[in-house]
Amino acid sequence: MTKRICKSFFLIFTLLVFPVFAENGTDPSTSKTNKQSKAPSIFGSGLKVLEFTGEFVQTPSEGGPQSVSNILNSTRLASSLVNANTANNLNPPGIITESSESRPASTLSPRIKYSHQISEDFFIGFVYAKGEQYNDTRTNFSTNGLYVNDRIRSGINEVGFKIGLGPINYLTNSDSMELSFTYSELSSKGPFQSFQLKFPFLRTGDQTITEGYGFYAGTVEFRTKNYGMNYGFVFSLLDWLNLYMMADVTIFAGRLKLSSYGVETSSTGSLNASNQVVFSAPVTKTDLTIFQSKEGLVKGLGGATLALEMGLVWKIFDTIGLKYGGFYQISSFSVSEVNGFNLGSGKTPVEISSIPNLNSSQSSKQYGSFGMNVSIVKNF
């Protein structure tokens, strides 16, 4: 995997760098003649910026933060973390503590950004990402002895465009800025599996306890439309080094779909006259759940993100540079008005947004992600 990624990275770098050497080796008079003979483009002759972005690292600390995809994927746990009063259910109420981790499945997750200046201060651009793979892991443990380990591998696709003042010139010898508005459509779909283990934990005042285990598997899918505003600037530190800062605000709205099948075995224990715990015979249940939310910001899947990024640009050549920096992203979302059906005793789909442990946005540490972006930047 590493060799393949290195080969791809080297190929992209070679394709971008070779024209620079070819241009430098051309006879000056010939080059000047060719440039003068070119007809003006209908899009203007302004700055054109091509960026190949790779998200090399995304490493939330224990207990948070989380990526946006991780947060949205977490909503499917609502099908198993509710209905606490159901007999023999593995999930009685309790305060849940949580840790999570979201990592790219490969070292490099490609993303292409292109900006085309069509007047002195005006530009248009697009963003394209296909097949970004992420592995998300969530671990929950409640005060009543419930352990949940949840994993998903999701593929993310995104296509969008932007328009505004700029574009930002990462290779400038002075300073440059960008203010733009963006629209994109994002989709994610992937399989998941969840393992639950309930320890017989008796709290003060409880008359019964539950022990058992369960396994759930299925697929989750969400599609969102994203509306954003971006601001960034860059200025020169040295002849070969620039500093850049970016800020993005995005509002998203869409729909969440889920299909899940689960098997759980549990038994209930109670105190007898001698204050000894006596367990009932184990009961095995199967559970099939299929539902989807409405589509929209208020009735459906909706939320917002704020991303901040800062880093350096190494100007390898006049028209080629290596951009690398760190980012932090804060997110908040809700999912409401779920429609679907459930086959299984004692369980029905519920309004996911009513589950505070999965949707609370009071703590930004639970709903953010940080990591590193590395890009190759090419000016034309």
Higher pLDDT, residue 356 or 278: 278
pLDDT tens digits, residue range 155-210? Answer: 778 899 999 999 999 999 999 999 999 999 988 888 888 888 888 876 655 667 77
What is the mean pLDDT of the segment spanning 210-217? 85
pLDDT tens digits, residue range 119-144? Answer: 988 999 999 887 767 777 777 777 67
What does the alpha-carbon distance between residue 127 and residue 162 come to, in Å, rounded to a whole number? Answer: 8
CA-to-CA dists, residue 147 to 33, 244, 266, angstroms: 72, 43, 14
Task: Please tell me the predicted confidence (pLDDT) of residue 275.
Answer: 76
Which class in CATH covers the domain with range 46-379? Answer: mainly beta
**Average model confidence (pLDDT) across the chain:** 72
- How do the domains of the chain map onto residue ranges? 1-39, 46-379
pLDDT tens digits, residue range 227-236? Answer: 999 999 999 9
Report the percent of the chain where pLDDT is more than 90.
Answer: 24
Tokens of 177: 């800025």
Q: Give pTM, 2 decimals.
A: 0.69
Task: Please tell me the predicted confidence (pLDDT) of residue 19.
Answer: 46
pLDDT exceeds cutoff 70 at 85: no
What is the rounded (10 degree) CA torsion for 353, 358, 361, 366? -160
Confidence band (pLDDT; 50, 70, 90) for 218? confident
**Which of 14-18, 195-199, 338-342 reaches the highest mean pLDDT?**
195-199
Higher pLDDT, residue 219 or 33: 219
pLDDT exceeds cutoff 60 at 219: yes
pLDDT exceeds cutoff 70 at 240: yes
Task: Please tell me the predicted confidence (pLDDT) of residue 255.
Answer: 87
pLDDT exceeds cutoff 80 at 223: yes
Task: Please tell me the predicted confidence (pLDDT) of residue 205.
Answer: 58
What one-letter code names the amino acid at 4? R
